[in-house]
Amino acid sequence: MSESKFITWLESELKIKEEEDMAKKKKLEVPIITDTQLKLVNQVKTLISDIQDSGVDHITYADISKLDDTYDAVVEESNLMHQGMTVEYGENKGDIIRAYYKDLVRADDADAWEGNADD
């Protein structure tokens, strides 16, 4: 292999490696969410839950559905997670389950639930 062909090959390999590294870096980046945004998401979550439980005459189901869809989008976009909760009674005592009724946390939080999406 001549020197110029080797250099061309090496440059193309370096370019491929750089693109792969950038793709990995992009996958690992966690969107930054401020404490205020986190508080908003959790307040919307609580509002939706309260309205669904008590019922309000002047808010339509379509309104709640739109708000709920927006909530889901913000949670997904911001990579927020449910907290984990230890079962304190019954046959599953000691198991860690997803705590649906606790506030959401950032994915890197120590209390973030680490389980399957199906659990």
Q: What ranges do the domains of the chain cover?
A: 1-30
Please, is 107 exposed, middle or buried when counting C-beta atoms within 10 Å of its C-beta (0-12, 13-18, 19+)? Answer: middle
Could you report the per-residue pLDDT of 20-57, keeping only the tens digit for each?
Answer: 777 666 665 666 777 777 877 887 887 778 777 877 66
For 79, phi and psi rounded to 5 degrees?
A: 55, 45
Residue 26: predicted pLDDT: 63
SS3 119: coil
Q: Is the pTM higher than 0.85?
A: no
Predicted confidence at residue 71, as pLDDT, reads: 80
Integer Cα distance of 111 and 28 in angstroms: 20
Whether the predicted pLDDT of 69 surpasses 80: yes
- The three-class DSSP label of residue 105 is strand
- Predicted local distance difference test score (pLDDT) of residue 30: 66
Q: What is the mean pLDDT of residues 3-19?
A: 82
